[in-house]
Structure 1
C-alpha cells in the first residue's frame, strides 16, 4: 500500500542501494567544527614561529634600506623575500585548510564517490520542488539551528565582555604590554568557549542527522516483503515448483515399482520397493 506506515529498519540491500545513489549520513556542523578547531590548533602550535619569521623579515628589510638605498635590485630582492615569506606562512595554512575541509567528508562518507549523485536531475529545476524544499522540515531545522548558533555566539561575546568591562577600564592607565596580554587572555577565553560550543553543536547535529537519515531509510512491511521476493523469489511460486518436483519424483518412482523384486511396507505410511542386483 502506498500510504503504509514505514516502521521497519532498513535492510542491508536498501542501505547499499541508497549508498550507491550518493546518499550517506553527513553532518556539515561536524565539518565546520573540525575545520575551525583544526585551523586554530595549527596556529596555536606554529603561529608563533610564523609571526617571528615575519618580524625577522621586517627587521632585515628595514635595516637593509639604510645600507643599500632605494634601488631596483633591492626592490626585486624584497619582492622575492615577500613571496617566499608568503609561501612559508600562508601556504601551510591553506594546505591545512584544504585537508581539514576534505577529511571530514572522506571520513563521514567512507571515501564514497558516486557517479549517480553527479548525474543531472531535471527535477531539481522544477520551481515547485525547490519551494517544497524551502519549507521542508529539514530546512526549518537548519534555520532554527542557525538562529540558535548566532544567539549563542552573541550571548557568549556579550557576557564575556560584560564580565571583563571593569578590568578593561582599569587597563587604561597601564602599559601596552599588560593591555596586549589581557586582550590575548580574553581572546583565548572566547575562542575556547566558542570551540566548546562548536563541538556541542556538531555532536547534537550529528545525532539529529543520524536520526533523520535512519527515519528516511525506514521501510514498510510490504517493501520488506517485496524485497525478499526479489532476492529469494515469490514464496508461492517456490512452493508450486517444489510440489511439482515432488510429483515428478513420485511419478518416476511409481514407474520403477513394477521392476522391483520385493515391496516392503507398513500398513499405513511407507512402502519401499527393492530390486536385487547380483553385481552390486
Structure 2
C-alpha cells in the first residue's frame, strides 16, 4: 500500500491535478484580496473564443462595496438578553447545517459497516425474492400486484430501518449539540422572506465569501482524498472479476467505507469551523446601534424622565393620603427642626399605638401645621421622634421598646385620657 501511495504522488496525472488546483487557488486568492480591500471587478470587454460559442470578459471596472455597507454601520453595542430571547423565539439561533449533515453521513456509514454482512445478505434475499416476480409481472392481476407491493414495502422497510433510525438520531443530535432542545412555533409560520433568504447577499460579504471558500475546500479535498484512496485500491478492484461474488462485494464495500469515513472526518473538521463562523456571524448580526440600545432600554425600564415623574406622583399621592390622616392622630411627636411622627391608638383595634404619618424637613413642618389646625397635641421629644421615624413605617404599630416612652407621653394628654376613659 505504501508503494502505491508513493507512486500515486509521482504520476503525471496527479502532478497535473495539483498544478491546476494551485493555479485555481491563487486566482481565487487574488479575487478575494480585491474583495476584502473593499471592491471587486467586473470585466467590460466581450471577447469571443474562436471555435466555440463562449464569450470571455476582459478588462474591468470597479464597484465600491462600501456603498452597500451602510446597513451595518454603527452596530457597536453588544446584543442584549432581550434581543437574544426574541431571536430565539423566532427560531434564529447560531447553527451550522454542516454539523448535522456530517453526523448523518458518519452515522449512516458506520451502521452500514457494522451491519454490512447482514445488510448484504438481506439485500440478496430481497432481490432473489422479488426479481423473478418483476420479470413475469404480466401474469399478475390487481389483487396479486397489491399483495406483492405490500410485501415489497414491508421487506424494503425492514431492510433499511436500522440505517434510517441511526441517521434520524444523528440528525437530531447534530442540532441538539448546537442549540439544545428548543421548539419555536414562530419558526414554523410562513414568511415571504424565507422564499429567498439570501437574495440580499448577492454582493460579496463575509458569509458568501466563507461559503465560497468552504465549497471550494470541500470539492478539492474530497476529490484529492477520493483519488488517493481509489488509486490505492485500483489494482485490487480490477481483480474482482476473478473473485467470488461475496469476496468482490466485500472488497468494494470496504473501499467505499474507507472513502466515506475519510470524507466524513474531513467534513466534520469543516463543520466545526463552519459552526464557530456561523456563531460569530450570528453574534455580529445581533449587535445594535447606540440608538437601538437606548430605545430598548427605555422600553424595558421606561423612560427615565417619565419614570421619575411617575415616582414623584406616587410619592405625592402617598403623602397626600398620609397628611389626611394627621387630624385623626392622638399626638404628634417632633424634633423641632427635622422630624414629625403622628401616632394614633384605637382601643379594641390596636394592640399598640400606630404611626399614621411621618415626615422630615418640609413634610415635618406640614404635619405640624395640620396638627395645630386640628387641635392635635404636639410634643417635642427629639430622641423618640428620630428613632420612630427611622424604625417604624407608616401603618405599623410601634415596637415594644417604645411602649414606655410613648405611654408616658400619652398619659400626660388630657384629650387622650378622655378618649380612653382615664379622665
TM-score, normalised to structure 1's length? Answer: 0.71
User: Which consecutive residues of structure 1, in runs of 5 or more, have no partner in the other structure?
Assistant: 65-70
CA distance, structure 2, for counterparts of residue 202 and residue 147 of structure 1: 14
Partner of residue 243, structure 2: 176
Bigger Cα displacement from structure 2, 89-98 vs 254-263 = 254-263
**1:199-237 CA distances to partner (integer Å, 9 max, x unpaired)?**
211211111111111221223444333223222222211
CA distance, structure 2, for counterparts of residue 89 and residue 153 of structure 1: 29
Partner of residue 406, structure 2: none
2:337 is the alignment partner of 1:246: no
Q: Tell me if structure 2 keeps the 8 A contact 1:25–1:109.
A: no
CA distance, structure 2, for counterparts of residue 242 and residue 87 of structure 1: 69
Residue 89 (structure 1) aligned to one of 142, 155, 159: 159
Partner of residue 120, structure 1: 191
Q: Pick closer, same or farther for the CA change 1:120–1:252 going to 2, 3 Å.
A: closer
Q: Tell me if structure 1 keeps the 8 A contact 2:98–2:271.
A: yes
Tell me: higher relative CO, structure 1 or 2? Use CA pairs within 8 A at least 6 residues apart.
Answer: 1
CA distance, structure 1, for counterparts of residue 171 and residue 240 of structure 2: 44
How far the C-alpha of 1:60 sits from its partner, in A, is: 7.9
CA distance, structure 2, for counterparts of residue 265 and residue 117 of structure 1: 68
Q: Pick closer, same or farther for the CA change 1:19–1:196 going to 2, 3 Å.
A: same
Residue 21 (structure 1) aligned to one of 75, 87, 90: 90
How far the C-alpha of 1:121 sits from its partner, in A, is: 2.4
| Greater strand content | 2
Q: Tell me if structure 2 keeps the 8 A contact 1:257–1:273.
A: no
Q: Pick closer, same or farther for the CA change 1:187–1:93 going to 2, 3 Å.
A: closer
- Provide runs of 4+ in structure 1 moved above 6 Å: 58-62, 177-181, 257-260
Q: Tell me if structure 1 keeps the 8 A contact 2:75–2:289.
A: yes
CA distance, structure 2, for counterparts of residue 271 and residue 9 of structure 1: 49
Alignment of 1:102-121 (within 5 A): 104-105=174-175, 108=179, 110-115=181-186, 118-121=189-192
Partner of residue 189, structure 1: 258
**1:217-261 CA distances to partner (integer Å, 9 max, x unpaired)?**
223444333223222222211212223333444556666379774
C-alpha RMSD of matched pairs (Å): 4.4
Residue 40 (structure 1) aligned to one of 103, 109, 117: 109
How far the C-alpha of 1:33 sits from its partner, in A, is: 0.8
TM-score, normalised to structure 2's length? Answer: 0.50
2:219 is the alignment partner of 1:134: no
Bigger radius of gyration: 2
CA distance, structure 2, for counterparts of residue 169 and residue 40 of structure 1: 22
Q: Pick closer, same or farther for the CA change 1:227–1:61 going to 2, 3 Å.
A: closer
Partner of residue 60, structure 2: none
Q: Tell me if structure 1 keeps the 8 A contact 2:79–2:288.
A: yes
Q: Tell me if structure 1 keeps the 8 A contact 2:77–2:289.
A: yes
| Greater helix content | 1
User: Which consecutive residues of structure 2, in runs of 5 or more, have no partner in the other structure?
Assistant: 1-70, 133-137, 344-376, 378-409, 411-415
Partner of residue 199, structure 1: 268
Partner of residue 352, structure 2: none
